[in-house]
Chains A and B, each alone.
Chain A
C-alpha cells in the first residue's frame, strides 16, 4: 500500500522567513496530494492541494510543488507569520475516474513554529 514520509518533523523559522516541508510517496498511482493545517486542539483543515497533472499550485503565501518522477511534493510558505504556527500534514490518494475520494494516507506531520 501507499506510504508517505514527511520531513522535517519540527521546523522553527523567524517571522518573515520561508518554510518548506517535504513529502515522498511510494505508490506511483497516487494522483492527489492535499496539505492540511492543524492548530492545537483543532481539526485538520485543508489548505491547498495538487493533482498529478499539475506541477505547481499557488494560493497567496502558500504553494505546493509536485515531482512525479521522484515521487515527492513540497509545501512552501513565504513571509511566515506567527499565525502560521501549527502542525502541517501531507497526504496522498488515488482518485478514481469520476472524482470520488480515495483513501487519504497521511505523513506523520511537521510542527512549524514561527518566532516573532
Chain B
C-alpha cells in the first residue's frame, strides 16, 4: 500500500516550458487535490476533484490545468511555466476527514 505517490521529486524548468506533475493514490479515495507551498504562505489549494471526471478550481488556479480520468490519478499540468510558479507542490487524497499527502515536488522555474 503506497498511499499517495508523486513524481518527479525535483524539477527545473525554463520559463515558457510545460510539464505535468504526476499524482497517484491506491486508497480508492474520491477526493484529490493539489496544493502549492511557499515560505510563509502555508498550503494553498490549486485545484481539486471530488471524483473521476469532476474537477474544480481552488484558491490559486491560474497557470495550471488538471484532469481526473480515473479515481487513482490526478495529474497537474503547468501550461507555460513562470518564475512565480517556483514552489513545492503537494498532491493529497482523502475520503472522510484528514488528507494524506504525497512526498512533494520541488519545482524551480528559471
Contacts and interface: CB of A to CB of B under 8 A. Distances in A.
A11 interface: no
Interface residues of B, number: 28
Nearest to B101: A43
A105 B45 contact: yes
Contact of B96 (A44, A89, A99, A104): A99
B94 A101 contact: yes
B44 interface: yes
Contacts of A108: 40-42
Interface residues of A, number: 24
A100 B40 contact: no
A59 B101 CA distance: 21
A81 to B, nearest CB: 23
Given A49-B97, A101-B31, A103-B33, A43 B90 contact: yes
Interface in A7-63: 9, 32, 34, 42-46, 49
Interface in B70-110: 90, 92, 94-104
Contacts of A104: 33, 43, 45, 92, 99
Contacts of B97: 32, 34, 49, 95, 99, 101
Interface of A: 1, 6, 9, 32, 34, 42-46, 49, 89, 91, 95, 99-101, 103-109
